[in-house]
Amino acid sequence: MLERYFVRPVTVDRIRAEWLGAPIEQYVGWLTERRAATRHVLRYIATTRRFGAFARARGAQSWSELPAHVDAFVEQHMRAHDAERKSTHYQQCLRSQLRVPVEQLLGLVLPDFSPTTRRLTVRPFEDRVPGFWEFLKTERGLSVATVQQYVVYLRSFQAYLQRVGVTDFAALTPAHIDTFIKERARTLGPDAIKPVGGTLRVFLRYVHRQRLVPTDLSGAVERRRSYRQRTIPRSITWEQVHAVLQSIDRRDPLGKRDYAILLLLVTYGLRAREVAALTLEDIDWPRERLRIPRRKGGHATTFPLSPLVGTAVLEYLQQGRPQTADRHVFQSTRAPAVPIRFNVVGHRASTYLRKAGIVVPRAGSHTFRHTCVQRLVDADFSFKVIGDYVGHRSPQTTQIYGKVAVETLRQLALGEGEEVL
């Protein structure tokens, strides 16, 4: 199997002659079965070879001794890359790149080996404010997705405090908080800055409750006013939708997967989380139905399965989906195969919008959701029907599309308002 990735026989012989040569070749075969990209296989081979040499130099004599050297291997390379001076995100990525291939190799070599339970993604303030993340889940009852939003927002706050030199909460002042909010507001819109402020208020109240600061500073977080119906949906035309779909190269598994995903988004107006959560059981092929069991409003919806969508999903399942026991429909194309996360759906949507040369504010999966609703508005469906179709919890959410009901607005402008209303 090594010959598939190395042209020179001497390189293959050198790898096989190493004391971890046989496990590495087995690992390469395992990656190849899962359709790992060549560049990733080569990187994983290099990492596992370095780990083997490192463990051997530290006195490892048998494969069973290897797990004891994983942490030291990771920390040595972190120091070699001067990771402590880099961002938290860089440190997390580097740790993952070092640890994941080594632990995958050990999982194949040692039947009783279990990957480390240590979280590779360190939550902000986890060591300085113990108990905060458990507080969000137990006392506030927040969902996993909401807790992840707290992670994102507080990570930027943590980076800001490090940049301005605030290492002790006792030194935190309202001026620090106000400056942080203003900096974030320069890059985030009015709707995006509101949850940042809400997250910060919850965090500061908890810090005060734990007596880490003498004063409750949550009141220093400015409450920014926002106005309903001030914007219009960021939809694209149906011709632009065709241009996006035609930009997808459907000859490889990634293209087959992304094509099916975009069709689901624009046909049914699904959210990214709903697409990522789809399982094989949600598609009723005999009855030609598609079930969305967990919508944002807490309800389920069943749609007729469009022939176009069904054909795209079936093509992906038969020719693009990796072999895995997991029941989620959409899987990663990189080894090991795991269900995609909702952010992957948004990222792929924005990628193809840019590839097609379509400029739209905040390009992502919601662009196709808005386009689906716009098409229903143009077809003169009632807002109640549209809201039920796309899973709006409140009629007020659907009312924003009244501003893009062009034909109705035209009749109002012509003085036929009473008949229209």
**Catalytic positions, please?**
271, 296, 366, 369, 392, 401
CA distance 105 to 47: 10
How many Å separate Cα 71 from the centre of its chain?
27
| 292 strand-pairing partners | 301
Q: Which residue do the tokens 């087959």 mark?
A: 256
CA distance 399 to 405: 10
Largest CA distance in the chain: 89
How many Å separate Cα 256 from the centre of its chain?
19
| CB crowding 9-48: b at 16 or more within 10 Å, else e | eeebeebeeeebbebbbebbebbeebebeeeebeebbebb
CA distance 234 to 349: 14
User: Quick one: tokens of 183?
Assistant: 């900096």
CA distance 28 to 41: 7
Q: What are phi and psi of 232, to 5 degrees?
A: -115, 155
CA distance 387 to 392: 5
Nearest Cα to 263, choosing from 362, 329, 205?
329
Q: Is 330 exposed, middle or buried (0-12, 13-18, 19+ CB in 10 A)?
A: buried
